[in-house]
Amino acid sequence: MPRPPGSGHCLPELKPEAAMIPVKGYEGQKLAVLGLGRSGLATARALIAGGAEALLWDDSPEARAKAEAEGFICTDLTRAGAFDGVAALITSPGIPHLYPTPNKVIARALEAGVPLDNDIGLFFRSFAGPEWDDFDITPRVICVTGSNGKSTTTALIHHILDVAGRATQMAGNIGRGVLDIEPAQDGEVVVLELSSYQTDLARSLTPDVAVFTNLSPDHLDRHAGMGGYFAAKRRLFAEGGPDRAVIGVDEVEGRFLANQLSEGPQDDRVIRISSGQKLEQFGWAVFARKGFLAEWRRGKQVASIDLREVVGLPGAHNHQNACAAYAACRSLGIGPKLIEAAFQSFAGLPHRSQLVGEKAGVRFINDSKATNVDAAEKALQAFPKIRWIAGGMGKEGGISRLLPHLGSVVKAYLIGHSARDFALELGDTPHEICETMERAVLRAAEEAVAGEVVLLAPAAASFDQYPNFEVRGDDFAARVKAWLG
């Protein structure tokens, strides 16, 4: 694509066959893009495909170099006058826009009155096109948010749709950037995982089905506390007005949200879900108890699925994910039997209760995504006898809240920056400070006996030893596979 006359700011020539959602409504206008990771570069390409001019910047020289290697030209958005004539600033989700303090580029945009948005907002304003007039079935968008289980729920919905023969794409906080997907086909369903960083800022949020899994403390510095964190999640429902809302009601915030969205307990536009509670009194509910999923509508049970032998969804937390995915897919008219078959073929996601291997009756489970206490709690409740590998960059509050849930832990093997702090909080639970993943896997594998599980569920961030939880999980898996031979 030719560079706009006199711009000097963009861009690489885009291949005509490149799949993306061209951004609409900004043709001939200048937009600034802050943050040049996966979503930022996809945003820049989509803006150019829609006829806009993109001014790119990242505080990291390495990120700028990567963008320039692709053919982009970066523009210093920190300089005076950088936002003259700019229609909007599109920022990547990891960049603070309010708390604890705004990024300096965002602060300049706010001072200049330049609208702030992100790729999620651009997606919702650009996804529909005139070609939809010829479709038999209008494409749908399902959005999944919450503290824990978002990725598994999103992937499970996508898997069910695929098994059902529905055209589907998965994007957002998992897989591809939202503007990097292909334009919709007739009847297609796009499934998006959205973090609080993404829902907090998007100026347009219009999902057809919105899912709220659960809420537990996380990212509190970014949202100035639990109230701000919940408010960011709530925007998906309050701003978007979905046709159907699937709400986890195992915490008070979920019950409050379901209450706000419904006109009464029989309002079946809200599907309440739970892992552990009976919800028979509502117009539409899906809940799991003692390993069985049940769907109830207007006081009658209409379906049941035995989840106990579904290998890809172990434990009560995954049963909650199953309820959420089931409810979302039932709202699209997919039958219970087909959903049950899809459950059985779901392999799970890497780093989320992932079975890495087994030897002599000992299973090795990678739940590196359990980066906070609540996620670790759910992992610890999924197995009866556990050799627990934990630690990393501990979060505020430590792991004291896990003490009531350590009954299944035979021994803990502690790694990383917070190993000694965690050791002081474990009470009578046997433990060993291993510091490194290599030693923790070795010691746990040597001591484990048949019927036990060696579980990586760190209850901590990875940044002390690894760039992200995926690399940490890969290291665990590599150490396990070396042990298994």
Tell me what the pLDDT averaged over the chain comes to.
Answer: 93
Annotated binding site: 146-152
Digit-coded pLDDT (tens) for 377-391: 989 998 999 999 999
Digit-coded pLDDT (tens) for 160-181: 999 999 999 999 998 889 999 9
Per-residue three-class SS string for the chain = CCCCCCCCCCCCCCCCCCCCCCCCCCCCCEEEEECCCHHHHHHHHHHHHCCCEEEEECCCHHHHHHHHHCCCCECCCCCCCCCCCEEEEEECCCCCCCCCCCCHHHHHHHHHCCCEECHHHHHHHHCCCHHHHHCCCCCEEEEEECCCCHHHHHHHHHHHHHHCCCCEEEEECCCECHHHCCCCCCCCEEEEECCHHHHCCCCCCCCCEEEECCCCCCCHHHHCCHHHHHHHHHHHHHCCCCCEEEEECCCHHHHHHHHHHCCCCCCCCEEEEEECCCCCCCCEEEEEECCEEEEEECCEEEEEEECCCCCCCCHHHHHHHHHHHHHHHHCCCCCHHHHHHHHHHCCCECCECEEEEEECCEEEEECCCCCCHHHHHHHHCCCCCEEEEEECECCCCCCHHHHHHCCCEEEEEEECCCHHHHHHHCCCCCEEEEECHHHHHHHHHHHCCCCCEEEECCCCECCCCCCCHHHHHHHHHHHHHHHHC
CATH T-level assignment (fold) for domain 354-484? Protein-Tyrosine Phosphatase; Chain A (3.90.190)
pTM (2 decimals)? 0.85
Domain map (residue ranges) of the chain: 30-117, 123-345, 354-484
CATH T-level assignment (fold) for domain 30-117? Rossmann fold (3.40.50)
Taking residues 93-119, report their average pLDDT: 96
Annotated binding site for ATP: 146-152
Selecting from 3.40.1190.10, 3.30.1490.20, 1.10.3470.10, 3.40.50.300, what CATH number does the domain 123-345 have?
A: 3.40.1190.10
Digit-coded pLDDT (tens) for 257-307: 999 999 999 999 999 999 999 999 999 999 999 999 999 999 999 999 999
